[in-house]
Structure 1
Amino acid sequence: MKHLPKHARPRWRYLAVGIETWPDARLDRESFQRALWYAAQNLLGDPGSADADCSLVRFRRVEGAAEAIVRVRRDEVETGRAALACVDAVDGDPVGVRVRGVSGTIRACEESYLHADGGVGDERDAVFRGDSVRVSDRGRTADVATATGFVGAAETDLSVERSESTDT
């Protein structure tokens, strides 16, 4: 089978996507792709989702966050972004999805928009609402582990727990 001539091949754009979720969420490549397909189909219908052809090209997960590259047809970038905006949960776990940028090649997309900080950093002890808690640090924000699940908190909501030393 012969290849199509260059002028007849489909043209693609690549969306760099940042994904945030709770540290204990189950998030993998297949579940995110399925959630994206369902969101595109619900928003655009069968013909619209086929035109956009949203496909996951790359996926990398770190604790509490992930990043991905989603391929869409060149003329369907805005509909692809809209479909990504409709993804609010993956396998029942809430997620936040943000398009970091758009590029014409996978390589340029990775170099320009991916591998940035954004995952969960170190865990530390802090005081939240008067209680001593364990938090997963995300820089200026943190995920606070409570009895009912995680709570997102700003750095101003937390105070550093100080251990009392016994200097004599």
Structure 2
Amino acid sequence: MKHLPKHLQPRWRYLAVELESWPDASVGRRSFQREVWYASQNLLGDPGSADADLTVVRFSFADATGQAIVRVRRGETEPARAAIACIDEIDGHTVGVVVHGISGTIRAAEENYLHRRGQVSEERNVVFGNEERVAVVRDGSADVRLDEAFAGATDLDYDLA
């Protein structure tokens, strides 16, 4: 089977996506891909989803933060951004998703938009709600462990124990 001539081959753009969740969340590439497909189908419908052709090319997730590169057809970047912005939960874990930028190559997307490899976090004891609790502290904010969940707090909401 012959290849298509270069002028007939599809042109791609790459979205640099950053994810953040609670410290106990574990998100895999397959589940993120599934949520991307569901979000694009729900927002854009079947024809729009097929036109955008969203595919997760690169993915990493560790210590409650992650990064991904999502491939999309040229000309469909704005609908793709809107679809990815609709993702709020993956495998039952609440997730914040941010599209940092669009690039013409994977390498440029990684260098220009994903140069920051996650935040340094540490587990500490803090006083929150007049009780000493365990929290994961990152850049002036903390995810404080309550009985069954986490509560997000800034450095003004808690004291170090």
CA distance, structure 2, for counterparts of residue 35 and residue 106 of structure 1: 21
Letter of the aligned partner of 2:47 in structure 1? Answer: P
Map 1:12-161 onto structure 2 (within 5 A): 12-119=12-119, 121-161=121-161
Cα root mean square deviation, aligned: 1.2
Following superposition, the deviation at residue 113 of structure 1 comes to: 1.4
Q: Is there any run of 5+ residues in structure 2 with no aligned partner, and where?
A: none
Alpha-carbon shift at residue 112 of structure 1 (Å)? 1.2
Whether the 8 Å contact between 1:64 and 1:120 is mirrored in structure 2 is no
Q: TM-score, normalised by structure 2?
A: 0.96
Specify whether residues 107 and 117 from structure 1 end up closer, same or farther in structure 2 by C-alpha distance, changes over 3 A only.
closer
The alpha-carbon deviation at position 140 of structure 1 amounts to: 2.1
Q: Is the 1:13–1:102 Cα contact (8 Å) retained in structure 2? A: yes
Letter in 1 for 2:87: V
Structure 1-normalised TM-score?
Answer: 0.92
Distance in 1, matches of 2:24 and 2:87, equals 19
Q: Give the letter for the 1:155 counterpart.
A: D
Q: Distance in 1 between matches of 2:59 and 2:30?
A: 10
- Per-residue CA shift, 1:70-95, capped at 9, x if unaligned? 00011000010011011111111111
For residues 124 and 117 of structure 1, what CA distance do their matches in structure 2 show? 22
C-alpha distance in 2 between matches for 1:131 and 1:118: 29
What is residue 5 of structure 2 aligned with on the other side? 5
The structure with more radius of gyration:
1
Q: Distance in 1 between matches of 2:52 and 2:16?
A: 16
**Which structure 1 residue ranges, 5 or more long, are not aligned?**
162-168
3-state SS of 2:75 partner: helix
AA aligned opposite 2:88: D
Deviation of 1:26 after TM superposition, in Å, equals 2.5
Q: How many residues align?
A: 161
Percent of aligned pairs with the same amino acid: 57
- Tell me the amino acid that sits aligned with residue 34 of structure 2: R
SS of equivalent residue, structure 2 residue 121: coil
